[in-house]
Amino acid sequence: MTTTPQSNADTLASQLLASPSIAAPALASALRRAAPMPPLTPPQVAQALIAAFKQPSIGPFSSPTPEQIATALAAAFSEPAITVFDLMQAVDGAFQTPPPPITLDELATAAVFALNARPVTAGDVAAALHRIAPAATIADVAQALVAAYAPPLVIVPIEVGTALVQAFGNHATMTAVSTALIASFPTMKANVLAATLAQVYKLGRADVAPLLEALSHLPGLDAARAAIAVRPALDLPLTDATLLAAPLAQQFGLTQAPNDVAALGVAIFSAEYKLDVAAVAFEAVFSPWNGFDYGRLASVYLRPEWPIAIRLQSDGQTVTEAAPQIRKQVPEISSSDMALVLASVFDLTNADDGVTPVAHAMKAAGYPLSETAVGMCQFFMPWTADDFGRVLQVYQ
């Protein structure tokens, strides 16, 4: 019967395993010392360990885990130290048969666990995963990294983002990495994501538009939150709002005057630009620009209801919940001003999406039908019979 290095290793492992209480790391080291030349490779040792521990006589130890095999390989191939890729490739090969094969999460976790005595970067693990499983997506690798560095270990978004770019190179587009980070860190805020992408991709002031596009995949992101996140991430000067206002208007569809002026104004105000700076930028964004448009922008900065509405929206209140509180704190607010504030702050400037929820909010704030209709027709321009019909339906 013809023998191979692998069959010899399997036989030797079974013989060594007969020793009382021998553990996987000791067995792996013994295999390396006892095997004839040429020396066994990590994949051969890993497969021999799997075969040996599956013998019926081993009992409860017959199903070694990826962590146990990885730890054994790390101990056996310590001088010189086994590379992250070689270890992960060996473990992956050992657990391919019988099915199911090892998952990327399990493979990454095993490597980080086994090599914890020496620095193992997320980039090393990501690069190895990409080489071993080239069909794995950027999101798959990001998820595996987060799983591998689960508590008590710690990994932060910038480490994952940097690792993904290192592993995937030009294929790691900003949008792909942003989507992967959002999925892997579901509670991540817009400012953290923006700062992470800016550092990973070394973005500058000319990169507002691509950064906004990458951020747009964040659930619940509106123009104000995007502006608050992007300005400091790219170190945009407070003396020129055009750098942010123009791409922000394009990304969020806030390009029509007068309906979108105050909504974009809320975003620029939230990003801490002064009124005079915002006005210069808006004159370039909205063409033609007139005194009526300026009045809407100025109201965001000067009227007391705006910061109240912005705070309530930021706290997670719905437009219907916020409207009564705004009127309670600013009882003199007119129906037209209330409609302007609600539609602009709560991203309801489009009539198709905004008329019904704004009407519900106006009703909740105590405005009668006649005042609501008058106030809303002054904001949603042009105002149609269908729009009035939807308001009427809310009050019936």
Residues 6 or more apart from 54 whose CB is under 8 A from it?
A: 62, 63
78-83 contact pairs (CB < 8 A, 24+): 81/118, 82/42
Side-chain-facing half-sphere of 92: CA atoms under 13 Å: 19
CA nearest neighbour of 166 among 126, 195, 132: 126
Handedness of CA 252, 258, 263, 265 (dihedral sign): positive
* Cα–Cα distance measured from residue 157 to residue 218, given in angstroms and rounded to the nearest whole number: 14
* Cα–Cα distance measured from residue 224 to residue 265, given in angstroms and rounded to the nearest whole number: 9
3-state secondary structure of 78: strand
* Cα–Cα distance measured from residue 239 to residue 277, given in angstroms and rounded to the nearest whole number: 6
Spatial contact of 189 and 218, defined as CB atoms under 8 Å apart: no
Residues 6 or more apart from 199 whose CB is under 8 A from it?
A: 158
CA dist 288 to 245, 257, 263, 292, 293, Å? 16, 8, 17, 11, 9
User: pLDDT value at position 18?
Assistant: 43
Tokens (6 digits) for 96: 């391919």
**280-312 residue pLDDT tens:** 999 999 988 999 999 999 999 999 999 999 999
Residue ranges of alpha helices (H) inside 222-368 are: 223-233, 242-251, 261-270, 275-285, 291-302, 305-314, 319-329, 335-345, 351-364
Spatial contact of 282 and 239, defined as CB atoms under 8 Å apart: no
All residue ranges of the chain with pLDDT < 50 are: 1-3, 9, 11-22, 37, 58-61
User: pLDDT value at position 310?
Assistant: 97
What angle is formed at CA 349 by the lines to CA 205 and CA 290, rounded to 5 degrees?
A: 70
Locate the domains of the chain by residue range.
1-119
User: pLDDT value at position 28?
Assistant: 54
Type of residue found at 287: S
User: pLDDT value at position 34?
Assistant: 52
User: pLDDT value at position 389?
Assistant: 95
Most distant CA pair in the chain, distance: 98
Side-chain-facing half-sphere of 84: CA atoms under 13 Å: 24
